[in-house]
Structure 1
Amino acid sequence: MKIAFYGSSILSSYWNGAATYYRGLLRALARLGYDISFYEPDVYDRQKNRDIEPPDWCKVIVYEPSAQALLRVAGLASEADIVVKASGVGFEDDALLREVLANSRPDALTIFWDVDAPATLAQLRAEPDHPLHAALSQLDLVLTYGGGEPVVYAYRAMGAADCLPIYNALDPETHHPVPADKRYTGDLGFLGNRLPDREKRVESFFLEPAAGLPDQRFLLGGAGWSDKPVPANVDLLGHVGTQDHNAFNVSSKAVLNISRESMAENGFSPATRVFEAAGAGACLITDAWLGLELFLKPDEEVLVARDGKDVAEILQSLKEERAAEIGQRALQRVLEEHTYRHRAAEADRVFRRFAKHPATEAAE
């Protein structure tokens, strides 16, 4: 069973928060027997900042950001039984979706896989003439990596045949406990790129507590923060590759998850960082969002903060022993319920359910 997957990048996490989602899910699908080709454009210096080399479980085709190259790779959709166009590819997304659908076989299962559904839906509401509106009537299915019922109902109301979430999860082979690394030791670490709908929340949940706790060390990792004014006790680390995420997560007393504004407002949108931190056995503090308890139990497997004041209070009272206990409970929970093996099984059932002919009903 062949899947043609058009996404941002599977080789690089540089300005690409979906990388670990793609890697974990597609590797697990490959183990179920799917033959996967992943098409990614050479944009945003991602190929200069690769975290991994092309894997043996997926064929990766990197194409130049040109109209000719886009048409060439879109034409290869005709070879696939399942054709996936992800959101946020990064080069001529609308044209890519149009061409991929035009080249897909009539018997192929066509999917729009939205890795930022709350933001996409907000754009669709603001732009009635957005090309995705028309494409929804051509697609067989919309899948998302979060959003819950609010996103499902919204996509159905906009004309999608159906919409289902395949949530983020843990890849235990990539994210797992490791020894602490002195480069990342501190009291609280946050890892995330500087994005417009996240920056104010980082100021509130991370920088303000840091300013109020000058005797504690805070670590800020991610691209785009180099010119951001920060308190003296905040270390700016720059881009932290996925190969260092485990060390980053385990070396501080706690790590912080801050949802993007659209995802926090929608709820049911656990970031990849949630599962990466839990998989490393880290003590996670997260901003509050609806649906969290579906993934981790507050106060036992994760600590929840409504604002920066809560973050500061948690840090002042959090002992190393309790932090370690929370991290171990979170690790056990995600291993039992939230790995990409679990998510791939869900995706496989979805593919079977929506298959157009017997050959698509299972990976052979």
Structure 2
Amino acid sequence: MKIAIFGLSLSSSWGNGHATTYRALCRALHARGHEVVFLERDVPWYAAHRDFTSCDYCDLRLYSSLGDVDALRGEIEAADAVVLGSYVPEGVALAEKLLAFDVSPLAFYDIDTPVTLGKLSRGDHEYLTPDLVPRFDLYMSFSGGPALDTLTHEYGAVRARPLYCGVDVDHYRPLDVGKRWDLGYLGTYSPDRQPPLEALLIEPARRLPHMRFVVAGPQYPDDIAWPENVERIDHVGPADHPAFYSELRFALNVTRAEMVALGYSPSVRMFEAASCAAAIISDPWNGIETFFEPDREILLASTPEDVTSLLAGARVVDAAAVGAAGRRRILGDHSSARRAEQLEDWLAEARSRLSLTQARSAV
């Protein structure tokens, strides 16, 4: 198939988790013989922090305005499927434009489902409106469970299907680099993630001054009081993620408030850390057990005491065994190759039902 994807960013991983998700998916689709065109809005923020401007697994196109999309209409209409992602600039206007084209199926890929549902409930239509939801032939969601019911029954999604984040397991793999930190976290600053980061890393660092901690990611305010044993790294590019995770004795996963409230919303960072065989300590949320088995493939912690007991040995765990089990789970259920297969299935289902509907209309 030829698949055209309009996404937030493929070229820049700075301050977003979309890029690594799209890269893994596009690479897996290419490996399965599909032709992928990725269309990314050329915006100053990502232009100033690009990892590349071309790649060998898809045709990356940068466009400056919706007018540029009009010029690509013939190529877009020639695609076997078109996918529009969440948080794309001028997403509502772009969706209307694509709906006016001769495109089928047209799918929406929501990499931010908890945020999207929160925005829709507040009347915030930054990149999607309620009336657009039922007009897509397929709605693929980063969240499963109740989110799919909400999309179907409250917003009228025709086919709401889960397409969780996946991992390029050939890139995200354990490296023999030795352990540098006892606990580390990789993620862009978010106000709603800061309280659990405070409880599950910063406070344990204060209580365990002889241990080493690290927080990597951009946009953290200057007024955060980091303990002396917490190292700050402003940005770790995707090429260096495996080494970073491999240098951690434990990797912390903290979840945005809207994702916790909705449940069934694993983050790409959690999957990437597990793919590198890092022993993950995560805040708990509803549905996490459907992705990793607690105490065997992942460790759960709600308080500073939970974390300090793991780090100091009061709660005895084999970190290497937990990391290895998490890696095996990724290989079986959460690789980008598996996600590419699922995308094929969802698109084939949408195409089949569209063909059936058209055949019935012709009678």
Give the structure-1-normalised TM-score. 0.89
Instruction: Return the alpha-carbon distance in structure 2 between the equivalents of residues 319 and 309 of structure 1.
Output: 10
Residues 206-355 of structure 1 correspond to what in structure 2 (within 5 A)?
206-225=201-220, 227=222, 228-317=224-313, 322-355=318-351
Q: Which residue of 2 aligns with 1:101?
A: 99
Kindly tell me: are residues 318 and 57 of structure 1, through their superposed partners in 2, closer, same or farther at Cα, counting changes over 3 Å? farther
After TM superposition, give the deviation of residue 201 of structure 1 in Å: 2.5
Instruction: Return the alpha-carbon distance in structure 2 between the equivalents of residues 217 and 122 of structure 1.
Output: 37
Q: Is 1:168 aligned to residue 165 of structure 2?
A: yes
Which of 99, 108, 111 is matched with 1:112 structurally?
108
Which of 175, 184, 204 is matched with 2:199 structurally?
204
- Which amino acid is 1:84 matched to? V
SS in 2 for 1:9: coil
Instruction: Return the alpha-carbon distance in structure 2 between the equivalents of residues 78 and 125 of structure 1.
Output: 33
Q: Which residue of 2 aligns with 1:362?
A: none
Instruction: Return the alpha-carbon distance in structure 2 between the equivalents of residues 346 and 301 of structure 1.
Output: 23
Q: Identify the range of structure 1 (160-169 vs 320-329) with the bigger mean alpha-carbon deviation.
A: 320-329
Kindly tell me: are residues 314 and 25 of structure 1, through their superposed partners in 2, closer, same or farther at Cα, counting changes over 3 Å? same
Instruction: Return the alpha-carbon distance in structure 2 between the equivalents of residues 318 and 251 of structure 1.
Output: 22
After TM superposition, give the deviation of residue 214 of structure 1 in Å: 1.9
After TM superposition, give the deviation of residue 309 of structure 1 in Å: 2.9
After TM superposition, give the deviation of residue 67 of structure 1 in Å: 4.7
Kindly tell me: are residues 129 and 115 of structure 1, through their superposed partners in 2, closer, same or farther at Cα, counting changes over 3 Å? closer
Instruction: Return the alpha-carbon distance in structure 1 between the equivalents of residues 32 and 123 of structure 2.
Output: 39
SS in 1 for 2:131: helix
- Which amino acid is 2:258 matched to? S
After TM superposition, give the deviation of residue 34 of structure 1 in Å: 2.0
Q: Identify the range of structure 1 (94-103 vs 218-227) with the bigger mean alpha-carbon deviation.
A: 94-103
Which ranges in structure 2 are unaligned for 5 or more consecutive residues? Answer: 357-363
Instruction: Return the alpha-carbon distance in structure 1 between the equivalents of residues 43 and 195 of structure 2.
Output: 27
After TM superposition, give the deviation of residue 315 of structure 1 in Å: 1.4
Kindly tell me: are residues 235 and 318 of structure 1, through their superposed partners in 2, closer, same or farther at Cα, counting changes over 3 Å? farther
Query: How many residues matched?
Result: 351
Instruction: Return the alpha-carbon distance in structure 2 between the equivalents of residues 124 and 321 of structure 1.
Output: 42
Kindly tell me: are residues 318 and 276 of structure 1, through their superposed partners in 2, closer, same or farther at Cα, counting changes over 3 Å? farther
CA contact (8 A) 1:197 1:260 kept: yes
Kindly tell me: are residues 309 and 43 of structure 1, through their superposed partners in 2, closer, same or farther at Cα, counting changes over 3 Å? farther
Instruction: Return the alpha-carbon distance in structure 1 between the equivalents of residues 134 and 293 of structure 2.
Output: 39
CA contact (8 A) 1:222 1:237 kept: yes
After TM superposition, give the deviation of residue 208 of structure 1 in Å: 2.1
Instruction: Return the alpha-carbon distance in structure 2 between the equivalents of residues 76 and 167 of structure 1.
Output: 28
Instruction: Return the alpha-carbon distance in structure 1 between the equivalents of residues 296 and 13 of structure 2.
Output: 30
- Which amino acid is 1:279 matched to? S
Deviations 1:118-150 (A, max 9, x none): 1100111111878521112321111012x2121
CA contact (8 A) 2:309 2:315 kept: no
Kindly tell me: are residues 74 and 85 of structure 1, through their superposed partners in 2, closer, same or farther at Cα, counting changes over 3 Å? farther
Which of 175, 189, 195 is matched with 1:178 structurally?
175
Instruction: Return the alpha-carbon distance in structure 2 between the equivalents of residues 262 and 166 of structure 1.
Output: 18
Q: Is 1:144 aligned to residue 141 of structure 2?
A: yes
Q: Is 1:41 aligned to residue 45 of structure 2?
A: no
Deviations 1:285-343 (A, max 9, x none): 11111222222211111111123332222212179981112111211222122211111
Give the structure-2-normalised TM-score. 0.90
After TM superposition, give the deviation of residue 206 of structure 1 in Å: 2.1
Q: Which residue of 2 aligns with 1:361?
A: none
RMSD, aligned α-carbons: 2.3
Kindly tell me: are residues 34 and 81 of structure 1, through their superposed partners in 2, closer, same or farther at Cα, counting changes over 3 Å? same
After TM superposition, give the deviation of residue 173 of structure 1 in Å: 1.7
Instruction: Return the alpha-carbon distance in structure 1 between the equivalents of residues 76 and 303 of structure 2.
Output: 46
Q: Which residue of 2 aligns with 1:133?
A: 130
- Which amino acid is 1:197 matched to? D
Instruction: Return the alpha-carbon distance in structure 2 between the equivalents of residues 194 and 19 of structure 1.
Output: 17
- Which amino acid is 2:189 matched to? R
Kindly tell me: are residues 128 and 207 of structure 1, through their superposed partners in 2, closer, same or farther at Cα, counting changes over 3 Å? closer
SS in 2 for 1:11: coil
